[in-house]
Each structure stands twice: as structure tokens, then as C-alpha cells.
Amino acid sequence: MRRVLSEWPTLALLAICYAAWGVGTTAAAALWLPLGIAVTTLAIALFASLQHEMIHGHPFKNAAANAALVFPGLTLFIPYGRFRDTHLDHHQDARLTDPYDDPETNYLDPAVWHRLPRAVRAVLRFNNTLLGRLTVGTAVSLVTVAVADLRAARTGDARVLRGWLWHIPALVPVIAWLATAAQMPLWAYILSAYAGLSLIKIRTFLEHQAHDRASGRTVIIEDRGPLAWLFLNNNLHVVHHMHPRVAWYRLPRLYADNKERFLERNGGYVYRSYAEIFRRYLFRRKDPVPHPFWP
């Protein structure tokens, strides 16, 4: 009971998130559809951040109870079970940025890169700009995940099959809501879901860099503005990787109290704000697609 009471910020934020999603798809959409899309987009982005909290053991110790809190498939495209499994695989820090073993990396084996058609390479280069990540980044990720999961499913990978099968009932309440209570057409909700995931791409854009040391691969973005709140302080990413069980609302204090240690660990891989990142990388690639240190 004490743990649950201490986790009230997560539970309260989850309630606000569902309420915003409900308002966005009904009253806001009825008032002005672009407003409804904007509110729903923000709610879906926040929901994805809250799913990340559930994966890391909040607000309950029981993983099934946490999963139940974010059971509805508001994001449409990504099954919670697949997000959970691939993200936990990603948290093996020794494998960060590995083109094969890190499921969240955007780096490719140079040998694979050079075999790709020119058009595909052009898209992936554009995807390594922030503008590209905001526009085509979600599509690139969805195609990459779909191809990888299809291959795994064909080999009988039970985790993949189970993750996608559970996504079917998770979509039922969302579809039922859109068909009965929502004032938003399906195309507008699909756009909101895509845009919500694209907002998350701002956070993941440069979370990790190729580095010879695993400890030097994870970023700190010292932003304390609306985006940091939307991402539940996961912009303090090296803090999260070193302390993945610490709740989102405790990360800023943990960083402030141990700033020198964290920056020493990641070799000073730090940005002051998301505004700085937009200035630097909106139209410019942050790094090459082929992994610079591979093999």
C-alpha cells in the first residue's frame, strides 16, 4: 500500500492522460477537428511515455497489473507486449547501438547499408535528421519492426506471436470508442496516433551515439520544459539507464544530486535543451546510418 501511495504521480498522470484522450476524441474534435487531433496527439504521446513507465515496474511491482493499466491500444500501431520485450532487450547497455542486438538502434551494419537501393538509403539518411525523424521516422520504425517480427513469427518465436495476438483485444475498446462515442473520423485518429509516435521520436532521436565505450553511448538533455514533461524526464537518459527502476518524477533530483558523476560516465554527451537540438539537427544529420565502429 505504501508503494502505491508513493506512486500517486504516475496514477494521477495516467488518469489525466485517459481524460485528455477522451476529450480530444470527443468534445475537442466536435468543436474543431484540428484541435481534437492536437489534443489526441499529445495524449497518445504521453500514453506512450506512461507505457514506458509500466515496463520499468511502475506504479505496481506486479507486471501484469501495470500492463492492465495501459491495456487499450491507444497508439494503434505498436503492441504493448512487443514494446515491452524489445525495450527490455535494448536495456542491455553493452549492446547499445549494435546493429543486430539493439532493437532500438538506427545504425546499420555497413555491409548491409551498401547493399541497399539508393532510394532506401536516401530515406534513411533523411531519417537521421530531426525533420526526417518527425515525418518519416515512425513509418521507418513500423516497417522495420514489421519485417523483423514477421521473420521471427515464421520461425515460431512465441514472444512475437503472443505480443501481436494480445494486440487484437487491446484494439477492441479503442475501435468501439471511435465507432460509438468519439466525434473524430477514423482517418483523423490514425493521423493522431502517427503524430503522437512522431513526437516520441524527438526524445529517441539522439538518445544513443556510437562510442567505443558502452558508458559513453547514452545522452543527457537538460531540458525542463514541456517536452521533458511529455517524455516523463526520460531526456535524462543516462540516469534512466543507470537506474531503470527509478520513477520518472525522481529522475531530476537524482540527476541534480549526482550531475558530475553522470556526465563523467557518459563522457559529457550532453545538450542543454531540445531547442538546441532543433537548431542543430532539424535539417542536418546527427550521424551516419552505417555504424562507424562496426564490426
The tens digit of pLDDT for each residue in 73-116 reads 999 999 999 999 999 999 999 999 999 999 999 999 999 999 99
Query: What's the confidence (pLDDT) of residue 6?
Result: 79
Could you tell me if residue 294 is inside a domain?
Answer: no
**Distances 217 to 54, 185, 212, 256, 268 between C-alpha atoms, Å:** 24, 42, 8, 20, 10
What confidence tier does 149 reach under pLDDT thresholds 50, 70, 90?
A: very high
Distance from C-alpha of 237 to C-alpha of 148, rounded to nearest angstrom: 26
Inform me whether the pLDDT recorded for 2 exceeds 90.
Answer: no
> Looking at the whole model, is its pTM more than 0.95?
yes
Q: How far apart are the first and last CA of the chain?
A: 49
Could you tell me if residue 93 is inside a domain?
Answer: yes
Could you tell me if residue 286 is inside a domain?
Answer: no
Report the relative pairing of strands 270-271 and 220-221 from DSSP bridges.
Answer: parallel
Range of 149's domain? 2-281
Could you tell me if residue 289 is inside a domain?
Answer: no
For the CA atoms of 258, 256, 278, 128, the dihedral, rounded to the nearest 10 degrees, stands at: 30
Number of independent structural domains in the chain: 1
Could you tell me if residue 291 is inside a domain?
Answer: no
The tens digit of pLDDT for each residue in 192-208 reads 999 999 999 999 999 99
DSSP letter at 267? T
Distance from C-alpha of 2 to C-alpha of 6, rounded to nearest angstrom: 6
Could you tell me if residue 143 is inside a domain?
Answer: yes
Query: What's the confidence (pLDDT) of residue 242?
Result: 97
